[in-house]
């Protein structure tokens, strides 16, 4: 399996941090998956996790997945809650 270039990781982190500033200190876990129907093609899932403090004193765990293709293009960003 190939690895995602560090410049692509930096770009994805910049975009996630701009959309979710509460995750600015979170480093992503990176996993690779083969894409269906395309030979020698992979996508990378960057998973960011962080805790948010709510006004009532409770905390909420936020999980953000950024899907990045081999060229470094962000295909999709999803968030919990």
On whether the CB atoms of residues 37 and 67 are closer than 8 A, the answer is: no
pLDDT higher than 60, residue 1:
no
Whole-angstrom distance, CA of residue 10 vs CA of residue 76: 16
**In the chain, what is the straight-line distance between the N-terminal and C-terminal CA atoms, in Å?**
32
What is the tens place of the pLDDT at every residue in 6-64? 999 999 999 999 999 999 989 999 999 988 776 678 899 999 999 988 899 999 899 99
**Across residues 70-76, what is the average pLDDT?**
92
On whether the CB atoms of residues 81 and 52 are closer than 8 A, the answer is: no
**pTM for the whole structure:** 0.86
Domain edges within the chain: 6-79
């Amino acid at each position: 399996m190939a690895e995602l270039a560090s410049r692509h990781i930096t770009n994805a982190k910049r975009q996630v941090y701009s959309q979710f500033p509460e995750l600015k200190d979170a480093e992503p876990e990176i996993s690779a998956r083969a894409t269906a129907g395309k030979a020698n093609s992979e996508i990378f899932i960057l998973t960011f996790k962080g805790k948010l403090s709510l006004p009532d004193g409770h905390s909420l765990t936020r999980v953000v997945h950024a899907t990045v293709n081999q060229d470094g293009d962000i295909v999709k960003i999803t968030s919990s809650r």
